[in-house]
Amino acid sequence: MSQFPIVGGELVVGGHRISELAERVGQTPFYAYDRGLLRQRVTELRAVLPAGIKLHYAMKANPMPALVCLMAGLVDGIDVASGGELKVALDAGADVAEVSFAGPGKRAAELRQAVAAGVLINLESFREVELLASISRQLGRPARVAVRVNPDFELKGSGMKMGGGPKQFGVDVELLPELLSQVKRSGLAFEGFHLFAGSQNLRAESICEAQLKSYELARRLAEDAPAPVRFLNLGGGFGIPYFPGETRLDLAPIADNLAQLLDRARSELPKAELVIELGRYLVGEAGIYVTRILDRKVSRGQVFLVADGGLNHHLSASGNFGQVIRKNYPVTIGNRADSAERETASVVGPLCTPLDLLADRLDLPVAQEGDLAVIFQSGAYGSSASPQAFLGHSGVTEVLV
C-alpha cells in the first residue's frame, strides 16, 4: 500500500522499519498505527470539507487510549458508545461540550456518568427520556440531549445499514412528535438531532443523498422541537477501499453537498452546527496488523504460512465481521516487501478452525519462518472488535508510532 514507504526492502511505519519495530514492540502479533498518517488524513479532509462542518471521531472504530488522545487534538469532538468509551474520551482531554454518547442500550449507570460529565446524550428510546429526567433531578442539572432518529430511508450501497426500516437504533420518525413532547415535559435540555444511516460506503452520491434527506428530515422535525436545533449530526459512513476493484471515495461531491446544506441551515436552522462523525475513514488506513510466520507448510501443492495471530486478533481480516462473501484484505510480507520472488500462498492463524484465514491464495513475496506478515487497512475494527479469548492464545498489543 502506497501510504507506507519501502526502505531496504522493508515496509516503514511511523519512521521505523518493520523488523526494527517488531523488536521495539517486543512481541508479535501487534497493531501499529502511524501518527503521521492519522494527522495527514484529518488535514486532507479539512482541506476539502467546508470550514463550517464539525468533524467528530467515532471512537468505536479504534478506542486505543493513546490514539484517542491524538485524535482528540485533531478533530472537533469525540463520539462514544459506552461508559467505557466515555472514560477514555474524558481521559484523552476531549471537550465535554463536543462529546456525544450514542447506543441502543445505555445502562442507567452510564447515563448518570454522562449527565454528570455534561456530555450530549443521543436519546434512542422513550425509556431513556424517563431515566434521564430522574437522573437530571437527582444531579440537579438537566441532561443535554439530541434525539437519534431512525429515518424512513436507508443509506444505499452501505456495508452495514443502521437506519431505515425496523431498527434497534434511534426512535422511528413516526414516533418523534410524541417523543419530542415527552422530552419537553421532562425538562431535558434539547439540543438537536442525530441521524446515522450506515457504515463503509464508497459511493459519494449515496452519502450525499442520505445527508440531504437527513437534513430535510431534521428541518421538518425542528418545527415540533422543544428548543431551537443547535446540533445536527448528519452521520458519516465514509468508506475506505479494502478489496481489489474498490475505488477511493470521492470527497468533492460530498464537500459540495455539505456546503449547500450549511448555506440552507444558515437561514432555516440558524443556531445549528452541522456535524459529521467518522470512524473507519479517519483511522482505518493508518494502521497495520503484524504477525510472525511460525511455520511454512505445503499441503497438496498449496502453500500455507501459519502465523502467530489470526482471527482472534483480527476478526475483520478473516472475513467474519460484517462481510457476506470473504475477500482478502491487502497483505504483504513486511520484511520482504519488494522481493521479486513471489508465489501464491495463504496466510492462516494458529487457531483450530478453518475460519482462521487472513489471506486466501494471494500473490505474495516468498516467505520463510520468522518473517512478518502484514495486513493493511487495519486501523479500524481490529483489536477491540476481535474475540481475543477464543482458543486461549496470548493477546495482541498496540502501538502508536
Ligand X SMILES: *Cc1c(COP(=O)(O)O)cnc(C)c1O
Interior angle at CA 393, CA 401 and CA 359, nearest 5? 65
State how far the Cα of 89 lies from the Cα of 240, in Å rounded to an integer.
24
Distance of closest approach, residue 207 Cβ to ligand X, in angstroms: 11
* Residue number, 196 or 231, with CB nearest to ligand X: 196
Q: Which amino acid is at 214?
A: S
Taking the complex as a whole, the smallest distance from the CB of residue 101 to ligand X amounts, in Å, to 10
Dihedral through CA 256, CA 257, CA 259, CA 263, nearest 10? 140
Overall residue count recorded for the chain in this entry = 401
Q: Which of 51, 340, 352, 389 is labelled catalytic?
A: 352
Establish if 383 lies at the interface with ligand X (CB under 6 A): no
Could you report how far apart the first and last alpha carbons of the chain are, in Å? 18
Backbone angles phi, psi at 269, to 5 degrees: -135, 65
Indicate if 69 belongs to the active site: no
243/266 with CB nearer ligand X: 243
Residue with cell 425538562: 187
If one asks whether residue 318 binds ligand X (CB under 6 A), the answer comes out as no
Of 274-293, which residues contact ligand X (CB under 6 A)? 277-281
CB atoms within 10 A of CB 365: 19
In this complex, which beta carbon is closest to ligand X, that of residue 197 or of residue 261? 197
Residue from 28, 125, 199, 312 binding ligand X (CB under 6 A)? 199
Task: Give the list of residues 6+ apart from residue 73 with CB closer than 8 angstroms, or none.
Answer: 93
User: Is 236 near ligand X (CB under 6 A)?
Assistant: yes
**C-beta of 60 vs 313, nearer to ligand X:** 60
- Residue number closest to ligand X, CB atom: 279
Touching ligand X, residues 114-173 (CB under 6 A) = none
CB of 327 to ligand X, least distance (A): 17
Place of cell 494527522: 39
φ/ψ (deg, to 5) at 12: -115, 125
- Give the one residue of 55, 70, 102, 129 binding ligand X; rule: CB under 6 A: 102
Report the residue number, 33 or 281, with the smaller CB distance to ligand X. Answer: 281
Q: What distance in Å separates the CA atoms of residue 37 and residue 233, rounded to the nearest whole number?
A: 26
Nearer to ligand X, 110 or 277 (CB): 277
Residue 127 CA to its chain's centroid (Å): 27
Please give the sequence-ordered ranges of beta strands (E in DSSP) within 207-307, or none if there are none: 231-233, 273-278, 287-299, 302-307
Q: Which of residues 65-84 bind ligand X (CB under 6 A)?
A: 79
Stretch that binds ligand X, among 54-62, 219-227, 294-302, 345-353 (CB under 6 A): 54-62
Other residues' Cβ atoms within 10 Å of the Cβ of residue 230: 16
- Residue 210 contacts ligand X per CB under 6 A: no
In the complex, minimum distance from the CB of residue 274 to ligand X, in angstroms, rounded to a whole number: 15
CB of 80 to ligand X, least distance (A): 10
Helix (H) or strand (E) holding 79: strand 77-80
Using rule CB under 6 A, residue 204 touches ligand X: no
Q: Which three three-digit cell numbers place residue 20? A: 526494527
Question: Grid coordinates in use for 135?
Answer: 437522573
| Least CB distance to ligand X at residue 401 (A) | 22
Name the β-bridge partners of 333.
Answer: 373
Determine if 314 is a binding residue for ligand X (CB under 6 A): no
Considering the complex, state which of residue 56 and residue 313 has its C-beta at the smaller distance from ligand X.
Answer: 56
Looking at 82, 200, 291, 346, which residue binds ligand X (CB under 6 A)?
200
Determine the size of the site formed for ligand X (CB under 6 A).
16
CA 111 to CA 223: how far, in whole Å? 27
> Which of 45, 53, 55, 58 is close enough to bind ligand X by CB under 6 A?
58
State the nearest-atom distance from the C-beta of 233 to ligand X, in Å.
8
- Which of the stretches 83-91, 106-114, 196-204, 287-295 binds ligand X when contact is defined by CB under 6 A? 196-204
Strand 189-194 versus strand 10-13 pairing type = unpaired
Q: Tell me, what amino acid is at 17?
A: R
**Which secondary-structure segment (H or E) carries 165?**
none
**In the complex, what is the shortest distance from the CB of residue 214 to ligand X, in angstroms, rounded to a whole number?**
12
Residues labelled catalytic: 352
Q: Which residues bind ligand X (CB under 6 A)?
A: 58, 60-61, 79, 102, 196, 199-200, 236-237, 277-281, 380
